[in-house]
Amino acid sequence: MKSHRKKTLGIILFIAAGLSVAIGLSLYALSSNIDLFYTPTQVAAGEVTPGQRIRVGGMVKEGSVKHSEEQLQVNFITTDYAHDVDVQYSGILPDLFREGQGIVAEGSMTPEGQFVASRVLAKHDENYMSVEVKAAMDAAERQRVMGQIQEQGQSQGNYQ
């Protein structure tokens, strides 16, 4: 390679490397602001002030969804399996909303520690499969759990 070409290539690589470092550092500094939502653990740690408009993301806790009898109002708990956030929402839920589903709720915390949401979005996970595959997986899982229960029963029987 000729020397002037080497020099140009050197300058280009130097600029690209310098910019990457600069952008990398600024993204690192901004990282908490780039996150779309707070996790329930962050909320529990007091990173959120009541009244501030935020998003909270987590799983809908099993058995926590309570629909109001007359209104659209719904109460549920969103969790990251370490901490919980009690969410109150009045409006139409996305089709994918159900227990165990990842969601992102937009709203604010009340001073009492309840999250009043003005919008609830469903998160989709990275797993795609047909109804049949899902049913087969669930059946296999049930069989595994049943087997474990039986084994436990037998081992307990041996002790008696």
Which residues here bind other proteins, judged by CB under 8 A?
5, 8-9, 12, 15-16, 19-20, 23, 27, 31, 34-37, 39, 57, 93-96, 104, 119-137, 140
Q: What are phi and psi of 36, to 5 degrees?
A: -75, -35
Q: Which is nearer to other proteins, 15 or 110 (CB)?
A: 15
Smallest gap from residue 66 Cβ to other proteins (A): 20
Distance in angstroms (rounded) separating the CA atoms of residues 43 and 22:
31
Q: Rounded to an integer, what distance in angstroms lies between the CA atom of residue 102 and that of residue 89?
A: 16
Query: How far apart are CB 51 and other proteins at their closest, in Å?
Result: 21
| Closer CB to other proteins, 31 or 154, in the complex | 31
Q: What are phi and psi of 119, to 5 degrees?
A: -155, 140
Whose Cβ is closer to other proteins: residue 17's or residue 152's?
17
129 or 152: CB nearest other proteins: 129
Only one residue has tokens 């047909």, namely 130
Give the β-pairing of 102-109 and 54-60. antiparallel
